[in-house]
Amino acid sequence: MQTISITDYAHWREIVRGLIHSEISPQHVQLLEANGQQSLFGDADLPSPTAAQTRSTTFRVPPKFLSLAETIACHRSGSRWNLLYRTLWRILHEHRSLLEIETDDDVLQLTKMEKQIRRDAHKMKAFVRFRRVEQGGEEFFIAWHQPDHRILRRVAPFFSRRFKGMNWTILTPDESVSWDQTSLTWGQGVPRHEAPAFDQLEDLWRTYYANIFNPARVKVKMMKSEMPVRFWKTLPEAEIIAALLADAPRRVDEMVEKHEGFAETAADLITARLTPPLTLSALRELARECTACSLHCDATQTVFGIGPEQARIVLLGEQPGDQEDLAGKSFVGPAGELLQEAAEAAGLRLSECYVTNVVKHFKFKLTEAPALGRQPRGKRRLHQKPDAREIRACRPWFEAELSCLPEAQVLICLGATALNAVAGPGTRIHDRRGRIFSTRHSQQTIATWHPAAILRSPDTIRDTKRQQLIDDLKLAVDTVFA
Ligand code: URA
């Protein structure tokens, strides 16, 4: 058995190329963390492939694996290099689509690790706090943060976009990074006791936090899980949490609006990774990586919109439900069945429409539920409404989807969340349904009941609402095809 110390992802790729070229299977090699030592590639006695050999043994790796491997490389687990090599070997020798087999042990393990990285990156974006430092008349901002995984290189570009016009440094125990308004420079890690104690920025952060903090919506338990105690020591706002908890509720949308500059949205990812003209397929692919809000942490996958680029009617729902989250496709559950029935009754072919949601990840809470029909007693994922911050974070996806639908003439909002996302908070279906009105997203917008809301309605009004849904869909058909 050979043992090779791996220093980083680039090194792993180089080593693995050699291993595959030499046909050394994962059972005959141990890839270990280098622990800051030099690469031991030479010690392993592996034949380095010559350029000609490399050409003759060129192998194609699915792009999905490469991007997954790059993510997993950030994980703290010492077993990741072996796990990645074993998975790659199996992709090349056993099953090209191995990553699609969600029940496979290696795939399960990788998926779990990938989620941990994403969650950690999300927390870093949310909890890094800069402190202002003056040096030689110049202003710098410094933050110290302790991520669970080695994610600084993944997350630093986010900070350079968000705080483009500032000189800043983020210190972590692993490494540090500085931004001089032009480029990122990498340096040594810094233990916590060496992190700067300057706190001139703390008052500003306190004000900021006090403004975005909405005690009406805070559940202390959830707040603690979202903001682990480990982070509290670097957060000045922790001191005022108790006071804020006792304070009066505030209007959250207004606050989010006011502080939009601070909140991450999907637009950050879209503008960083895609250049116009956008396409639906590029958006769909990129949306799989979205971490603009925390819903991605618990959802199974991003559920992106579906339909032809020439669609003339766009249907906008709220968010994927339980079944949609598992299937990766919108409106496949009970609400989807009712929508399909209503569309048929209205003479609308859903397959010719573009169907999407305001929020692309399933938001739920786990509850203990009694047996229901054929479902046994046990934990259920109970749908929860997305909040203003999640809608704001996700809405750029919908806006980008719309920009890729040149023939779209009518936008149908299914339910209040969709309507509020396009016509502003507080707009009611009851007041808007049954007619065409203009919004900033479409000159011909129609609002109607969400099929899930119809299913939940009392028997006495369910049929009326179902008929109104049909009438509203028919209005769209008449507008477009008359
Ligand atoms: N409800 C929605 O709003 N969208 C779906 O995709 C499913 C249920």
> Can you give the pLDDT at residue 309?
96
pLDDT band, residue 369 (cuts 50/70/90) = confident
> Can you give the pLDDT at residue 293?
87
Is 302 a residue whose pLDDT tops 90? Answer: yes
Q: Is 359 near ligand 1, meaning CB less than 6 Å away? A: no
> Can you give the pLDDT at residue 217?
47
* Residue that has been written with the tokens 């079944």 in this structure: 323
| CATH number for the segment(s) 266-481 | 3.40.470.10
- For residues 40 and 355, give the distance between their C-alpha atoms in angstroms, rounded to a whole number: 53
Is 35 a residue whose pLDDT tops 50? Answer: yes
Q: Is 117 near ligand 1, meaning CB less than 6 Å away? A: no
- For residues 69 and 75, give the distance between their C-alpha atoms in angstroms, rounded to a whole number: 10
Is 47 a residue whose pLDDT tops 80? Answer: no
DSSP label of 217: G
Q: Concatenated DSSP letters for 222-279?
A: HHHHHS-HHHHTT-TTHHHHHHHHHSPP--HHHHHHHTGGGS--HHHHHHHH--SSP-
Is 200 a residue whose pLDDT tops 50? Answer: no
Phi/psi zone of residue 269: left (φ > 0), alpha (ψ -120 to 50 degrees), beta? alpha
> Can you give the pLDDT at residue 213?
47
pLDDT band, residue 139 (cuts 50/70/90) = confident
Q: Is 386 near ligand 1, meaning CB less than 6 Å away? A: no
Give per-residue pLDDT as tens, 64-109: 999 999 999 999 999 999 999 999 999 999 999 999 998 999 999 9
> Can you give the pLDDT at residue 224?
56
> Can you give the pLDDT at residue 71?
95
C-alpha 261 – ligand 1 centre gap (Å): 29
Report the nearest atom of ligand 1 relative to the CA of 335. Answer: 8
Is 243 a residue whose pLDDT tops 70? Answer: no
C-alpha 318 – ligand 1 centre gap (Å): 6
Q: Is 319 near ligand 1, meaning CB less than 6 Å away? A: yes
- For residues 143 and 166, give the distance between their C-alpha atoms in angstroms, rounded to a whole number: 13
C-alpha 321 – ligand 1 centre gap (Å): 5
C-alpha 348 – ligand 1 centre gap (Å): 18
What mean pLDDT value characterizes the chain?
Answer: 83
Ligand 1, residues 301, 319, 338: which to mutate, most atoms within 8 A of Cβ? Answer: 319
> Can you give the pLDDT at residue 226?
57
Handedness of CA 348, 350, 353, 357 (dihedral sign): positive
* Residue that has been written with the tokens 């879209």 in this structure: 270
H/E element, 15: helix 9-21
> Can you give the pLDDT at residue 427?
87
Report the nearest atom of ligand 1 relative to the CA of 414. Answer: 3
Q: 198: exposed, middle or buried (C-beta count within 10 Å: 0-12, 13-18, 19+)?
A: middle
- For residues 224 and 189, give the distance between their C-alpha atoms in angstroms, rounded to a whole number: 27
Give per-residue pLDDT as tens, 428-453: 999 999 999 999 899 999 999 999 99
User: CA angle, corner 435, sides to 434 and 441, nearest 5?
Assistant: 120
C-alpha 283 – ligand 1 centre gap (Å): 19
> Can you give the pLDDT at residue 229?
58
Ligand 1, residues 306, 318, 362, 419: which to mutate, most atoms within 8 A of Cβ? Answer: 318
Q: Is 335 near ligand 1, meaning CB less than 6 Å away? A: yes
C-alpha 333 – ligand 1 centre gap (Å): 8
pLDDT band, residue 251 (cuts 50/70/90) = very low
- For residues 420 and 35, give the distance between their C-alpha atoms in angstroms, rounded to a whole number: 52
> Can you give the pLDDT at residue 235?
60
Burial state string for 243-270 with b = 16 or more CB within 10 A and e = fewer than 16: ebeeeeebebbebbeeeeeebbbbebbb
Q: Taking the domains of the chain in order of start, what are their residue ranges?
A: 2-122, 128-194, 201-260, 266-481
